[in-house]
A = this chain, B = another copy of it.
Amino acid sequence: MRRTKAEAEATRQQIICAAERVFFKKGVSNATMEDVAHAAGVTRGAIYWHFANKTDLFMELYKSVPLPQEDMVARELESEDAEVLTVIERVAAEWLDTLANDEQRQRILSILLRCDYTGELSAVLEKQQSVDDGHMRTLEAAFARAAEKGQLGTCWTPKSAASALRWMMKGICSEWLLFGRRFDLASEGREGLRRLIGSLQAAK
């Protein structure tokens, strides 16, 4: 029973959506194509029609992640605002807010945090790494502008400040996602951010 193009695209999305739920629940290496197929209401044959194998499915799932504000963040960080550190803090806090309210993003990040990148999935790790490097570059640039304006504490360099912020963000998100959301991400995360940015700031 051949479907129309639109229907095919719909089942493709169904498969990706089902993979997201199944990978989240059972872990990537533990999940079976049959699991995904059952969750999507299709057979494995359908999955192998749309995707080459499990690794490919995982890659496509990763690529389908809505990263809408990627560019927005970069553009905002490159804006010529006077209070650079305030902008950085606000952007980071907004990122936490988004994560706190978007369950799909939570699931995908959890999958990414928990999965085993040895073997076939190493390509995904490399992609993540390159994305991370991009973030670091824009962050460093922002901190460099803060330093030019004398807003960055004398003991910090743009690079070390960017690293500290990124590690803080990673730490907050990892702990929240992996350890059962035992605190309020938005409020406590924002508070931690405020303290760190405050410590990065030059004494007035």
Contacts and interface: CB of A to CB of B under 8 A. Distances in A.
A199 interface: yes
A178 B187 CA distance: 30
Contact of A29 (B30, B129, B178): B30
Contacts of A203: 203
Interface stretch (A34-42, A61-69, A153-161): A153-161
A116 B29 contact: yes
A28 to B, nearest CB: 7
A125 interface: yes
Given A27-B118, A27-B119, A116-B30, A163 B171 contact: yes
A196 interface: yes
A171 to B, nearest CB: 3
Interface string A170-204: 11101100110000000000011011101110010
Contacts of A178: 125
Nearest to A167: B171
Contacts of A91: none
A115 interface: yes
Interface string A107-136: 000000011111100000100010000000
Interface of A: 25-30, 114-119, 125, 129, 153, 155-156, 160, 163-164, 166-168, 170-172, 174-175, 178-179, 191-192, 194-196, 198-200, 203
The 9 A-B residue pairs with the shortest CB-CB distance in the complex, in nearest-first order: A167-B171, A27-B118, A199-B199, A29-B29, A116-B116, A27-B116, A30-B119, A155-B198, A29-B116
